[in-house]
Amino acid sequence: MAAAPTTVEGPARRSQPSGPQRILVYQTLLIVVLFALWEALVRTGVLPVYLYGQPSGILAKARQLLVEGDLITHVAATAFASIVGFLLGTALGSVAGLLMWLSKTAALVLRPVIVAINGVPKIALAPLIVVWVGVGLGAKVAIAASLTFIVALISVYQGTQEVDEDLVKLMRSLGAKPFTIWKKVIVPGATPWILSTMRLNIGFAMIGAVVGEYISSKMGLGYMIYNAGALYDLNSVFVGIFCLMALALVLDAVLGRIEERFRW
């Protein structure tokens, strides 16, 4: 009887430090310490403010840009381009990757093409895209879409290849035609790969959108960061970077929710 409470208590106590609240506390602490250190180093003159910015200055700048400037517009522009590019590229790439399962010949024929395109840094294609679709939103979306398309295509096709060959054999023994096998086994079987590609791709989509903004836009966080950098306005650069981080975290959290929904 006496032993029972201790065995119950033991694991409970041990699990405490890794509880979600504890982690959150440590995370907050880490950020606070880093920013305090940064602020202190700039204030004591160890780091020059014109090269490194300053947390208090960044905060003030953010407030200013939010009230007087068009920070919200920039954030919205980048978010919109990222999301649209992400949806287009990921959807088309995933469907293409799934369809490639249906024809081994097509997959083999296309392989070197895909590898070659994948090997090219997509930024090198940006001037082409600008020529084709013009500057502005179109170019941003197109760059984001082309980046995510190729990632989705490759990893979702890989996903179709990872589906247990014995499940395919089972379906065949039940008399299923290739398209039925595709629909009932390959597509649902590759779903985890589609979901994990989505999380990867949201990052790529943001890279695409920001690159697009660097080279051919008058809007968005990429444009804002690029411009501020040229003017040595490092606080504005950091505001832009932190907005990008926040955006990435939000989009990733949304996708995490979706992924959880579809997991079996």
Partner 1 sequence: MVNAPVLEAKHVSMAFEAGTPREVIAFRDISFTLRHGEILAIVGPSGCGKSTLFNVIAGLLRPTSGSVSVDGALVDGARGHIGYMLQKDLLLPWRSVLDNVTLGLEVRGTQPDQARERAMSLIRRYGLAGFEFARPRALSGGMRQRVAFMRTLALDPKAILLDEPFSALDFQTRLILQGDVKRIIREQQKSAILVTHDIGEAIAMSDRVLVLSQRPSTVKAIHDIELGDATDPGTLRRSPAFNEYFDTIWRQLDGHAQAAV
By CB under 8 A, residue 180 contacts partner 1: yes
Query: Quick one: DSSP state of residue 19?
Result: S
Q: How far is the CB of 168 from partner 1 (least distance, A)?
A: 10
CA angle 140, 142, 144 (to 5 degrees): 70
For residues 66 and 69, give the distance between their C-alpha atoms in angstroms, rounded to a whole number.
6
Kindly state the greatest CA–CA separation across the chain: 80
For residues 57 and 245, give the distance between their C-alpha atoms in angstroms, rounded to a whole number.
18
Q: How far is the CB of 163 from partner 1 (least distance, A)?
A: 10
Identify which of residues 101 and 149 has a Cβ nearer to partner 1 in the complex: 101
Q: How far is the CB of 178 from partner 1 (least distance, A)?
A: 12
Q: How far is the CB of 156 from partner 1 (least distance, A)?
A: 16
By CB under 8 A, residue 196 contacts partner 1: no
Identify which of residues 84 and 171 has a Cβ nearer to partner 1 in the complex: 171
Identify which of residues 14 and 261 has a Cβ nearer to partner 1 in the complex: 261
Residue 80: alpha-carbon gap to chain centroid? 14
Q: In which element (H, E) is residue 162 found?
A: helix 137-162
CB 50 within 8 A of CB 108: no
Identify which of residues 138 and 192 has a Cβ nearer to partner 1 in the complex: 192
Identify which of residues 159 and 212 has a Cβ nearer to partner 1 in the complex: 159
Identify which of residues 58 and 187 has a Cβ nearer to partner 1 in the complex: 187
Q: How far is the CB of 255 from partner 1 (least distance, A)?
A: 19
Site string for partner 1, 140-179 (x = CB under 8 A): ------------------------x-xx-xxxxxxxx---
CB 163 within 8 A of CB 186: yes
Phi-psi region of 199 (alpha: psi -120 to 50; beta: other; left: phi over 0): alpha
By CB under 8 A, residue 117 contacts partner 1: no
For residues 173 and 185, give the distance between their C-alpha atoms in angstroms, rounded to a whole number.
14
77's tokens: 């522009």
By CB under 8 A, residue 185 contacts partner 1: yes
Identify which of residues 85 and 189 has a Cβ nearer to partner 1 in the complex: 189
Handedness of CA 137, 142, 147, 152 (dihedral sign): positive
Q: How far is the CB of 193 from partner 1 (least distance, A)?
A: 13
CA angle 168, 171, 172 (to 5 degrees): 85
Q: How far is the CB of 177 from partner 1 (least distance, A)?
A: 9
CB 162 within 8 A of CB 101: no
By CB under 8 A, residue 259 contacts partner 1: no
Interface with partner 1 by CB under 8 A: which residues?
Answer: 164, 166-167, 169-176, 180, 184-185, 188-189, 191, 264
